[in-house]
Amino acid sequence: MSAPLLAVENLKVTFPSPSGPVDVVKGISFSLGRERLGIVGESGSGKSMTGRSILGLVRAPGKVSATRLEFDGMDLLKQGEKAMRKIRGARISMVMQDPKFSLNPVMTVGEQIAEALVAHKRLPRREIAARVRAMLEAVRINDPDRVAGLYPHEISGGMGQRVMIAMMLIPEPDILIADEPTSALDVSVQAQVLDIIDDLVRNKGMGLILISHDLNLVAHYCDRVLVMNSGRLVEDCAASELKNAQHPYTRGLLAAQPRLDETRDELPVIDRTTWSAT
Amino acid sequence: MTAIHIDNLDVSYGETQITHGVTIDVEEGGSFALVGESGSGKSTVLKAIAGLAPEWRGTIEIFGKPRSHGIEAEFARTCQMVFQDPYGSLHPRKTVDATLMEPLNIQGLSDHNERIAAILKDVGLDNRFRFRYPHQLSGGQRQRVAIARALIVEPKLLLLDEPTSALDVSVQAEILNLLKRLRRERGLTYLMVTHNLPIVSFLCDRLAVMRGGRIVETADAEKLKKGHLQNEYSRELLRLSAPPAV
């Protein structure tokens, strides 16, 4: 593997509270090459904040600090708002959880995808239309010309999420951050959306950060898995090695999931006292 | 005895017919799951039973009694519902105590203090939570309050609408264990809506797969565990929920 696209060292995200500052991300380090990295954790583990801090999207009063937060040789923490805007979308982009709240309700799908492209590149109108069409086809929308003219309320959740992916990938970024991209979708649509992300990421040789609470899903779609718990990395392993995970929290998460061929009378519950004593 | 007998149920919202000829029977003490994607009509069946979707034709009988189209206090005594989102289903300006008091007042039950203390203990909530507001509780604790609110009038039948889909994996495990224990201890009957097949394996003994408002297959949970569902669509769901080889 070549030099990492993204290097993170000792990343901290801090929010003030009445009883003093609280670290929601407590100094984590990882690097990302052109590979698929999964970040798993439960609510409040800091996984989404990790994703957001890379893009400079942690809002005040939240504070991001790190010994190193480097993307392609650039120090992301030193970039101004204007420079960050050039990176967001064009170089690193993010797919959010719920298409219902992330798409603009008063713009057609085609216009929104074109906007994502035009914001970063000046292109002749005909080429824009062609690229939008090609992108919609790439996310397996059968009838791209018709769908481009529809408004977000006229399309289904799965299609909405595919439109989001089209928007995020049309400027051809180096890294795609997908924050729970399928948790608002039905099981049958989930696999389809993830397959599309997987396909596009592999073909374009991009880096992917897939943030999710679903261990199985991450293990299936990623090369490497990070497990987070209350702001710390507790496990960093190859996806294929996940079932041999050592940390009690990871093992607890794996065991707490009901299985299809369930025979256990009771599900093991994570004993929060054993591992949080830090 | 049959706890739920539904025959040829057509539910409509205005002009739109949602379910088409839904027929299910659940034995007393059984645990039955309705499975399907969003829009398949599975929640609508629960709403029709609870009286929240009054426009229906067909037969709904609960413990042998025909169900009316509205909400009745007497019916609420035997049948209660637990909703999906514990963040939305509790009144934000009522304490846990006030939330649990309401069904007791409606049903005209006495011994408020003892009943509330007992039910909190039963759902695994410490007594110190009794005078807290929902925003002071975690998602799992809120869902325990919602379950306590349903069980405090001592119903025989619980309607569960995706009771754990808004919760984290480790909290989900706790709530599923709780539901399983309560059913065993109190001899409850469950009718649960979910899209998560492994949960059905854990908690239910029968299931019906719904698609487009119709039941496409009814089977024992044993068949689900062994992967022996017959219908093509059920098998598709099964394939998609099988954990990928890790």
For chain B, give the secondary structure using H, E and C: CEEEEEEEEEEEECCEECCCCEEEEEECCCEEEEECCCCCCHHHHHHHHHCCCCCEEEEEEECCEECCCCCCHHHHHHEEEECCCCCCCCCCCCCHHHHHHHHHHHHCCCCHHHHHHHHHHHCCCCHHHCCCCHHHCCHHHHHHHHHHHHHCCCCCEEEEECCCCCCCHHHHHHHHHHHHHHHHHHCCEEEEEECCHHHHHHHCCEEEEEECCEEEEEEEHHHHHHCCCCCHHHHHHHHHHCCCCC
Do B134 and B165 belong to one domain?
A: no
Do B4 and B57 belong to one domain?
A: yes
Which domain CATH number covers B226? Answer: 3.40.50.300
Determine contact: B242 vs chain A, CB below 8 A.
yes
Do B32 and B97 belong to one domain?
A: no
Helix pair B139-151, B112-122: axis angle to 10 deg: 130
Phi, psi (rounded to 5 degrees) for B126: -70, 155
CA atoms within 13 A on the CB side of A189: 19
Determine contact: B199 vs chain A, CB below 8 A.
yes
Nearest residue in A to B38, CA atom = A186
As a whole number of angstroms, the distance between CA B230 and CA B216 comes to: 10
The nearest CA of chain B is from the CA of A4 a distance in Å of: 26
Residues of B in contact with A239 (CB under 8 A): 246
Do B48 and B166 belong to one domain?
A: yes
Whether A62 contacts A15, CB under 8 Å: yes
Q: Is residue B84 part of a domain?
A: no
Residues of A in contact with B237 (CB under 8 A): 187-188
Do B55 and B164 belong to one domain?
A: yes
Residues of A in contact with B169 (CB under 8 A): 42, 213-215, 253, 256-257
As a whole number of angstroms, the distance between CA B159 and CA B14 comes to: 24
Do B43 and B163 belong to one domain?
A: yes
| Token pair in block for residue B105 | 């007042």
pLDDT of residue B181: 93
The dihedral through the CA atoms of B193, A262, A274, B169 has a sign that is negative
The nearest CA of chain A is from the CA of B178 a distance in Å of: 9
pLDDT of residue B246: 42
Domain that residue B26 falls in: 1-63+156-170+188-246
Phi, psi (rounded to 5 degrees) for A271: -85, 105
Determine contact: B61 vs chain A, CB below 8 A.
no
Q: Is residue B236 part of a domain?
A: yes
pLDDT of residue B24: 95
pLDDT of residue A8: 93
Residues of A in contact with B176 (CB under 8 A): 258, 267
| Token pair in block for residue B137 | 């509780």
Do B160 and B245 belong to one domain?
A: yes
As a whole number of angstroms, the distance between CA B150 and CA B159 comes to: 9
Alpha helices in A16-64 (DSSP H): 47-54
Do B165 and B136 belong to one domain?
A: no
Facing residues of A254 across strands?
A: none
Whether B155 contacts B80, CB under 8 Å: yes
* ipTM of this complex prediction, to 2 decimal places: 0.75
Q: Which of A241, A256, A252, A248 is nearest to A278 (CA)?
A: A248
Determine contact: B177 vs chain A, CB below 8 A.
yes
3-state secondary structure at position A68: strand
Nearest residue in B to A259, CA atom = B198
Whether A171 contacts A198, CB under 8 Å: no
The nearest CA of chain B is from the CA of A275 a distance in Å of: 14
Q: Measure the N-to-C terminal CA separation of chain B; round to a whole number of Å.
A: 44
Q: Measure the N-to-C terminal CA separation of chain A; round to a whole number of Å.
A: 35
Query: Residue A270 is nearest to which of B170, B237, B243, comparing CB atoms?
Result: B170
Do B94 and B23 belong to one domain?
A: no
The nearest CA of chain A is from the CA of B171 a distance in Å of: 8
Nearest residue in A to B37, CA atom = A186
As a whole number of angstroms, the distance between CA B125 and CA B138 comes to: 12
Sheet holding A232-238, edge to edge: A92-95, A175-179, A207-212, A36-40, A224-229, A232-238
Strands, E assignment, A97-157: none
pLDDT of residue B95: 95
Output the pTM of the full model. Answer: 0.82
Query: Residue B243 is nearest to which of A186, A216, A265, comparing CB atoms?
Result: A216
CB contact under 8 Å between A262 and B225, yes or no, is yes
Do B22 and B143 belong to one domain?
A: no
Determine contact: B1 vs chain A, CB below 8 A.
no
CB contact under 8 Å between A262 and B246, yes or no, is no
- Each residue's pLDDT, cut to its tens digit, for chain A (278 residues) gives 457 899 999 999 999 989 989 999 999 999 999 999 999 988 888 898 999 999 988 888 899 999 999 998 889 988 888 899 889 888 999 988 877 788 999 999 999 999 988 888 888 989 999 999 998 988 888 889 999 999 998 888 888 888 988 998 898 899 999 998 887 777 777 888 888 889 888 888 899 999 998 888 888 899 999 999 989 999 999 988 888 888 888 888 888 888 888 888 888 887 665 544 33
CB contact under 8 Å between A267 and B195, yes or no, is no
| Token pair in block for residue A261 | 């061929």
The nearest CA of chain A is from the CA of B172 a distance in Å of: 8
Low pLDDT (below 70) residues in chain B: 242-246
As a whole number of angstroms, the distance between CA B35 and CA B53 comes to: 19
| Token pair in block for residue B182 | 């309560």
| Token pair in block for residue B145 | 């309050």
Query: Residue B201 is nearest to which of A220, A256, A259, comparing CB atoms?
Result: A259
Residues of A in contact with B199 (CB under 8 A): 258
CB contact under 8 Å between A260 and B238, yes or no, is yes
Do B5 and B115 belong to one domain?
A: no
How many domains in chain B? 2
CB contact under 8 Å between A216 and B244, yes or no, is yes
* Cβ count near B199 (within 10 Å): 25
CA dihedral B137, B140, B141, B147 (to 10 degrees): 140
Determine contact: B222 vs chain A, CB below 8 A.
no
Whether A257 contacts B176, CB under 8 Å: no
The nearest CA of chain B is from the CA of A276 a distance in Å of: 14
pLDDT of residue B245: 45
Determine contact: B226 vs chain A, CB below 8 A.
yes
Do B15 and B32 belong to one domain?
A: yes
| Token pair in block for residue B39 | 């829009």
pLDDT of residue A273: 54
Supply the Cα-derived Rg of chain B in whole angstroms: 18
Q: Is residue B80 part of a domain?
A: no
Q: Is residue B227 part of a domain?
A: yes
pLDDT of residue A89: 86
- Pick left, alpha or beta for residue A61 (phi over 0 → left; psi -120 to 50 → alpha; otherwise beta): alpha
CB contact under 8 Å between A260 and B195, yes or no, is no
Q: Is residue B222 part of a domain?
A: yes
Interface A-B, measured as beta-carbon pairs within 8 A, has a size of 93
CB contact under 8 Å between B201 and A261, yes or no, is yes
As a whole number of angstroms, the distance between CA A168 and CA A99 comes to: 12
Q: Is residue B72 part of a domain?
A: no
The nearest CA of chain B is from the CA of A80 a distance in Å of: 36
Whether A144 contacts A162, CB under 8 Å: no
Q: Is residue B74 part of a domain?
A: no
Residues of A in contact with B207 (CB under 8 A): none
Q: Which of A20, A27, A23, A25 is nearest to A52 (CA)?
A: A25
Nearest residue in A to B171, CA atom = A269
Q: Is residue B56 part of a domain?
A: yes
